[in-house]
């Protein structure tokens, strides 16, 4: 039986422990062996979007990048990939506008296939499970940058960057700015956004993946609760609670048939023994 997350029993700020784990992870990665860069963005979402040298699709359509036009790829599963949003109702846990990059930046690594970790930390007093699905979907919105494609690979951020957009100046600072602007602009409950990008190694990205596992379990629980409130049970029959299952009659019928078949078989065998 798989551990079931009873979201109702968890503390109000569901992911605070994971944010603490993340802070510890960043500290351990920042031991002088890796390049670490930090940016602090203070502009409003509109100022960010107006001041970009690159286009962000207003029609919400992502643009295709062909292999021959590719400058580099981020998060190819073979190279290492991990991405997740994580949120809190506690303002002190998220440094608004902070972008942390551990590892090389985009323009430094032409033709590379870089490991990629992307964690989006969010604060909002009103953030709740109702926004969980929207936050999970929004993490792919960097793909609206003309020249940055998020490949259609479920459950992961696998990015492809074009030569053209790099020549216009795309780097992780700019990528982070776009994500900050889009989250704040399009999800009203989001008040602060902080970003972590990791490109240093597959092993470093896998450290994030350990935290991601716990985050996903809670996130899935939140999504299930939201659906349950709409009257849909995503788990269907997995609780094995026959008293509430609408298929109980069918199951009982099948049991009866199996019992009958076994009885018949036994009788037949007994009859054969007598005949002998």
Partner 1 sequence: MSSSSSTVEENNTVIDQPVMVKEPSIAKFREEVVNWGLLYDSVATIEDPDFRINAELAKLVRDARKSIVDAFDEGRPFISNNYCTAPEVSKAMGLPSYMLFEAPFIPSSKEVLGDQLDHTAAMGLGPDLCTAIRSGIYYVEQGLVPLPAAMIGFIFPCDGMPMLHQVIKHNKFWKDMPLFCPDPPYFQDPRSIDYFANELKKMVSFLHNATGATLDMDKLKEIIDESNKQYLLWQEYNELRRARPSPHGYDIGGAKCFCVSQMFSVGEPDGTEWFGKLVKLAEDKVEQGLGSTPQEKIRMFWFDIMPPNWADELFPILAQEYGAVCVMDMFGNSPYTTIDTSSEESIWQGMAKRGLFDTPMVRQAIGPAEGFLDDLTRIVRDYEIDVVVWPGHMGHKESLGTYGIIREACKDLGVHFLDLRVDILDGRFVEKDETLDKFARFFKNKGLA
Residue 140, CA distances (Å) to 22, 62, 147, 211 in order = 21, 10, 14, 19
List the one residue from 49, 214, 227, 245 that touches partner 1 (CB under 8 A).
227
Phi/psi for 69 (5° steps) reads -100, 10
**Which positions from 206 to 225 touch partner 1 by CB under 8 A, shown as an x/- string?**
--------------x--xx-
Q: Is the Cβ of residue 246 or residue 273 nearer to partner 1 in the bound state?
A: 246
Contact between 154 and partner 1 (CB under 8 A)?
yes
Q: Is the Cβ of residue 54 or residue 223 nearer to partner 1 in the bound state?
A: 223
Contact between 251 and partner 1 (CB under 8 A)?
no
CB of 67: closest distance to partner 1 in angstroms? Answer: 7
Phi/psi for 150 (5° steps) reads -95, 120
Closest C-alpha to 93, from 21, 25, 29, 28: 21
Contact between 273 and partner 1 (CB under 8 A)?
no
Contact between 200 and partner 1 (CB under 8 A)?
no
List the one residue from 38, 44, 137, 263 that touches partner 1 (CB under 8 A).
137
List the one residue from 57, 130, 153, 258 that touches partner 1 (CB under 8 A).
153
- In the sheet that holds 159-162, the strands lie side by side as 113-114, 70-74, 159-162, 148-150
Sign of the Cα torsion 267, 270, 272, 274 reads negative
- Return the percent helix, strand and coil in the chain, to nearest 5: 45, 20, 35
Total residues in contact with partner 1, by rule CB under 8 A: 28
Could you list the residues that contact partner 1 (CB under 8 A)?
2, 61-62, 64, 66-67, 77-78, 133, 137, 140, 149-155, 220, 223-224, 227, 230, 232, 234-236, 238
């Amino acid at each position: 039986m798989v551990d079931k997350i009873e979201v109702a029993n968890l503390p109000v700020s569901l992911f605070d422990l994971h944010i603490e784990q993340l802070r510890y992870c960043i500290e351990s990665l920042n031991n002088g062996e890796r390049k670490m860069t930090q940016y602090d963005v203070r502009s409003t979402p509109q100022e960010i979007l107006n001041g970009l040298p690159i286009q962000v699709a207003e029609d919400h359509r992502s643009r295709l990048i062909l292999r021959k036009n590719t400058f580099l790829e981020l998060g190819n599963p073979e190279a290492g990939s991990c991405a997740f949003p994580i949120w809190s109702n506690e303002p002190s846990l998220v440094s608004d506008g902070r972008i942390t990059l551990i590892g090389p930046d985009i323009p430094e690594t032409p033709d590379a296939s870089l490991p990629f970790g992307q964690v989006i930390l969010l604060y909002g007093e009103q953030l709740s499970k109702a926004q969980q699905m929207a936050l999970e979907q929004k993490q792919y919105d960097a793909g609206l940058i003309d020249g940055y494609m998020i490949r259609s690979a479920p459950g992961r951020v696998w990015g492809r960057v074009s030569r053209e957009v790099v020549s216009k100046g795309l780097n992780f600072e700019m990528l982070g700015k776009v994500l900050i602007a889009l989250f704040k602009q399009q999800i009203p409950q989001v008040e602060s956004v902080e970003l972590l990008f990791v490109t240093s190694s597959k092993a470093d990205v896998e450290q994030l993946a350990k935290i991601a596992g716990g985050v996903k379990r809670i996130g899935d629980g939140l999504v299930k609760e939201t659906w349950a409130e709409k009257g849909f049970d995503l788990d269907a029959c997995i609780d094995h609670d026959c008293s509430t299952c609408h298929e109980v009659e069918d199951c009982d019928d099948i049991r009866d048939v199996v019992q009958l078949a076994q009885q018949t078989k036994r009788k037949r065998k007994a009859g054969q023994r007598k005949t002998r």
